[in-house]
């Protein structure tokens, strides 16, 4: 991580050249986004010392955390802090300067997380978070992070991995809206990008009185219905769509479809687009998240929380591997070892294709669990790995608070 220096020029502000994949580009993203968001014509100069312990390209949101940090520092130095929601929006938009068409979960958790809670996030119609406390168990629940050490750089592999999945889900949402007969409604027609969540909300708009029905149950009912709708909409193409077939389904040319999903900014490469599998994963994964929340909030002493929550994590990993195809051989191997070693639930973290895994383990079994992972995975793949490196790759974690400022007198 060599030192860098750059200038903020009037008009262009900051130039971000993605050709060399330098770490400073992520700082520039946050800086540029913040300067634009606070409309600062003459931003203050800054000397910044960066430090951190989150491994890069490991599925632990290091890039998003860095962009958020850069944006917050820039706002602080220039004397104008936005609301947390506006900081999230700024960080989400500005990270895309790097060339990855990302969402907003990483940035939301970086800014808005609360200690000892998971965060249930909704982006539409506006950003909302619901802290979800983990249930009290004996022994307590522990989460262990294990890094496969397979480098997964979203910005480098984006055209065939991350950005491709974004394009598949965006086109899937367009075709699903048409299948459901709602494509011409303003909520679907006049929004960019159209997402599966927006399609679902518009399809069920006005169908229920949310005040009289449990909100979690509404999620479950609607997501279950959308899984059926997705099978009907895409089931005729189980092996995927060509560009021409997708364009025909939407009554537009392939070129117009590419422009619709912004391939000029985020190019992708694929012969066939797996819309059925991506839709099945998106809706079933959201359903698992809602059920995870429902279990945590149930307060039912009869519930075997380890098995109930762990099963959902295992199902998630299976779906990531089989439907979203964002796992890799090392992730699959590590999750299998972990389950045999006492993990109730094991899945990848982050975008996938490498990086870290997360495991639900009873707290009193953590030490034994970590010994087995060291012996059966790390000793095999990285023989001779020293203690410091092992500690960086395999560790226990707990949910913490989001970003904060520390002022030194």
- Kindly list the catalytic residues: 106
Neighbours of 352 (CB within 10 A): 23
d(CA 408, CA 406): 7
Note whether 354 and 330 are within 8 A (CB). Answer: yes
Size of the chain in residues: 409
Residue 397: its H or E element:
strand 394-397
Q: Where are the beta strands (DSSP E) in 123-256?
A: 128-133, 141-147
Q: What angle do CA 266, 159, 178 make, to 5 degrees?
A: 65
Residue 265 in 3-state DSSP? coil
d(CA 85, CA 402): 12
d(CA 395, CA 392): 7
Q: What angle do CA 145, 103, 254 make, to 5 degrees?
A: 130
Buried b (16+ CB within 10 A) or exposed e, 282-315: bbbbbbbbbbbbbbbeeeeeeeebbebbbbbbbb
d(CA 27, CA 343): 37
How many Å from the N-terminal Cα to the C-terminal Cα in the chain? 28
Note whether 310 and 276 are within 8 A (CB). Answer: no
């Amino acid at each position: 991580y060599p030192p860098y220096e750059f200038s903020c020029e009037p008009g262009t502000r900051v130039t971000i050249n993605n050709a060399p994949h330098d770490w400073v580009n992520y700082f520039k993203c946050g800086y540029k986004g913040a300067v634009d968001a606070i409309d600062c014509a003459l931003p203050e100069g800054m000397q910044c010392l960066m430090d951190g312990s989150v491994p890069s390209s490991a599925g632990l949101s290091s890039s998003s955390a860095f962009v958020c940090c850069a944006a917050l520092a820039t706002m602080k130095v220039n004397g104008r802090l936005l609301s947390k929601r506006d900081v999230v929006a700024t960080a989400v938009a500005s990270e895309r300067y790097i060339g990855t068409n990302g969402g907003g979960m990483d940035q939301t958790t970086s800014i808005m997380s609360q200690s000892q809670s998971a965060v249930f996030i909704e982006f539409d119609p506006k950003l909302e978070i619901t802290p979800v406390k983990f249930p009290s168990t004996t022994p307590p629940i522990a989460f262990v992070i294990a890094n496969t050490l397979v480098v997964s750089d979203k910005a480098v592999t984006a055209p065939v991995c991350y950005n491709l999945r974004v394009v598949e889900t965006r086109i899937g949402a367009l075709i699903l809206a048409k299948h459901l007969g709602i494509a011409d409604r303003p909520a679907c027609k006049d929004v960019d990008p159209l997402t599966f969540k927006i399609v679902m909300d518009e399809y069920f708009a006005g169908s229920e009185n949310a005040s009289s029905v449990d909100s979690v149950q509404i999620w479950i009912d609607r997501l279950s219905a959308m899984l059926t709708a997705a099978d009907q909409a895409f089931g005729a193409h189980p092996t995927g769509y060509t560009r021409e077939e997708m364009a025909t389904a939407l009554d537009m040319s392939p070129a117009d479809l590419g422009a619709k999903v912004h391939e000029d900014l985020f190019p992708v490469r694929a012969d066939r687009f797996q819309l059925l599998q991506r839709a099945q994963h998106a809706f079933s994964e959201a359903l698992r998240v809602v059920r995870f929340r429902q279990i945590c909030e149930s307060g039912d002493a009869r519930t075997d929380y380890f098995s109930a929550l762990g099963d959902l994590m295992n199902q998630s990993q299976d779906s990531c591997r089989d439907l979203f195809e964002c796992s890799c051989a090392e992730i699959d191997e590590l999750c299998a070892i972990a389950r045999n070693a006492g993990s109730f639930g094991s899945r990848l973290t982050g975008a996938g294709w490498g990086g870290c895994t997360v495991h639900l383990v009873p707290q009193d079994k953590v030490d034994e669990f970590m010994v087995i992972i060291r012996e059966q995975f790390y000793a095999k793949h990285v023989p001779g790995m020293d203690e410091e490196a092992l500690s960086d790759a395999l560790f226990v974690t707990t949910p913490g608070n989001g970003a904060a400022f520390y002022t030194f007198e």
